[in-house]
Structures are given as C-alpha cells and as structure tokens.
Structure 1
C-alpha cells in the first residue's frame, strides 16, 4: 500500500488521524494534547469567521472534539473557525472556546464579535481611548487582505459576544 501511495505522489500523513492540541490564546501559553486519557467530549454547534464572518447555528453538532476537563469548564460554547485571518493564532478549521457571560474585557485579547452586516467572527479587539473606537484586528499579517476595522464604541457597545479562552487545533 505504501508503494502505491508513493507512486501516486500522495502524502501518507493526509490519510492518518492527526492529534489535536489545545492552549490558551496568550503569548507563551503552553501547548497541551487535547485528547489525553481524561479528556471530555464537547459539541461544536456554530461557525465563526476568521476572514468573512458567519452567523450559523445548527441543531445538530457540526463536530465533536475532545478536550481536557479544565478547559471544558472555562467556556460555555465552542465555535469552529473558517478562514485564515487569524492565521498564526487560530488555523482554518480550528475550534475556539468562548465564555459569553461574566468575562473581563482586556484590550488586545481575542473575542467573538458580531460585525455589522457580516455576522460572527473571531478577532483581536483593541480599544483606542483617544478616538473612542474599537480596533478590530486580524492576526494574519496581510494588511491588504485583512485591514483593521474601526468601529465607534458608543454605536457598537454590544459588538463583543464573548472572550476566546482556548484554541483547539489539529496538528
């Protein structure tokens, strides 16, 4: 079988199960195995864009992932990320854990946001006190493709839906 895969020019790694990792979305956060022996299953019911935004909620789970119990207790929903605007932090197809209630806001952290006319997206949110604006930023360094967006805080006070507390990704 390996000989056929080689002759066809395929990569065997594309056909093997890939382990998953989980970490907090902060600099220098440790990367852990997501599917350790004591991991628990959680369902993912919605998509969020990392690029174009989505606003989709399903009755049936889009996916089921396994994560350590302490990560499961930190969030109240999980969103599958589509797009590459958060590349470097969250890959296309990754899942983020979001806490939607009783979270502290910290400028420069990653949040689930509802962008006007677009829907739910995962972005870094920075407060510009001088102008009274949110700066909605992608982690992808391609600023031509993903420029910063500025939204007046007074008009969009309810834009932030929740704080991203962990990132799950297949490696």
Structure 2
C-alpha cells in the first residue's frame, strides 16, 4: 500500500488540482478533512468512490500505482486483480479532464423569490447541464432577463456567479441585488473617496447607479465568472 503522500500526489495529478483547497472542492469536503486524513496517514474509502464516479479513476491505481489510471465498466468498478473477463479497462485519459463530464445545475431567475428589499432569494426556473469544472458548490446560475449588459452579455444568456467572490474588484462584473428589481449584472468600481461603489451597465441606455460601501457585502451576491450564450 502506498503512503498517504503518494496517493495524494496521484490524486492531485489526475484531477488537475494543486492545493488542498482545490482538491477539497473536487471531493466535496472541507479542507480540514484533508488535513485530518494526512495526519492519520490514511485516505478515506469514500474518496476513492467519489474519484471513480466523477473521473473514472481506478482505485487500485490510486492506492497502489498499479493498473490503468482510468477505468470504465458497464457494470461498475471491477478490481484490478479480479477476473479479466469481468472488467473493461480503457486507457482513456480524457475521462479525467474537467470538461469531459457534465453536471446538472439549477437555473435561477434574476427576480428574487421575495420581491421586497430583504435580499436576493434565488428562484429556480429550470436546469442546465454544464461541465463540472464550471459548477462548484459556490456557483449560482442565472438566466439573464434584461438588456443592461448588452451586447457583452445578451438577454437569455446563462451566467455563473461565484458567491464566494464578493470582494469588489473594479471593472469586474458582479451580480448585485437591487431592492424591488432583483439581481442585476453590473460592472463595479470602487470610489473610496466618496465611500461608494459605482454600478455601470454596458448598455448606455441604462443609467449609472451607486451603493454605499457599507452595503457592499449585503447587496453583492457574487462575481460573474462565466457566460454561456449565443453569439
């Protein structure tokens, strides 16, 4: 049996992750769980299952460095040392590429479930299949209903908003909650001298607005990190 560090390096290499934070996101666990496993020098069994299900990774290769890296079977996983007739092993590196597998995510309206001023409450309106690399747990997918960001982001586009990225980065596009209007996509600019955050649209027909810096964490839902739309 390989040491934890050996298995850990094989997992990182196969999933294209570099840090414990990135790997924790892939496995759907806390970073502290990785630290605990390292301290015990033991890889939890459910890691192998998740990596097989999500990436097609061969548990025997992860544990021992033996056999093919990727394994796909119509009947599920068959051990490397099991009867050859029962297993199907493929040298298929593309199984582990982040874009090779999709996941279904909820698509939300830009209108809040609560139409008042108490904050944006996502309202699911459909589903969308996207690459898994685009759908970490922090992603909120919305369907654009307005024209404020046209022609850069068109009406009907799907936008992924990372809710973990709320810190203002001037010039970037954020999802911002506006009372009684819902979620709006805006380029944000910090005006520290006047203690305000300026919200600008790509469409010149939409006027520039602003919010006080004290309202930033309350109003900013997250930063837009990807867009899917027709050209």
Shorter chain as denominator, the TM-score bin is: 0.5 to 0.7
Q: 1:170–1:65: structure 2 CA closer, same or farther, 3 Å change rule?
A: farther
- How many residue pairs get aligned? The number is 125
**Cα–Cα, structure 1 residues 70 and 155, in superposed 2: closer, same or farther, change >3 Å?**
closer
* Greater relative contact order (Cα < 8 A, sep 6+): 1
Offset at 1:110? Answer: 0.9
Matching of residue 47 in structure 1 with residue 104 in structure 2: no
CA 1:41–1:82: 2 relative to 1, 3 Å: same
| 1:147 paired to 2:207 | yes
The 1-side partners of 2:201 and 2:165 are apart by 24
When you count strand as a share of all residues, which structure comes out higher?
Answer: 1
Q: Once superposed, what is the RMSD of the aligned Cα atoms?
A: 2.3
**Structure 1 position 101 matched with structure 2 position 164:** yes
**Who is 1:167 aligned against?**
227
Q: Which residue of 2 aligns with 1:92?
A: 155
1:163–1:169 distance in 2 versus 1, CA, 3 Å? same
TM-score w.r.t. the length of structure 1 is: 0.63
Stretches of structure 1 lacking an aligned partner (at least 5 in a row): 1-35, 49-53
* Counterpart Cα distance in 2 of 1:104 and 1:152: 14
TM-score normalised over the length of structure 2: 0.48
- Give the 5 Å matches for 1:51-70: 54-56=111-113, 57-58=122-123, 61-70=124-133
1:158 is matched with which residue?
A: 218
Q: C-alpha distance in 1, partners of 2:165/2:206?
A: 30
Contact kept, 8 Å, 1:99 with 1:162, in 2: the verdict is: yes
Max Rg structure: 2
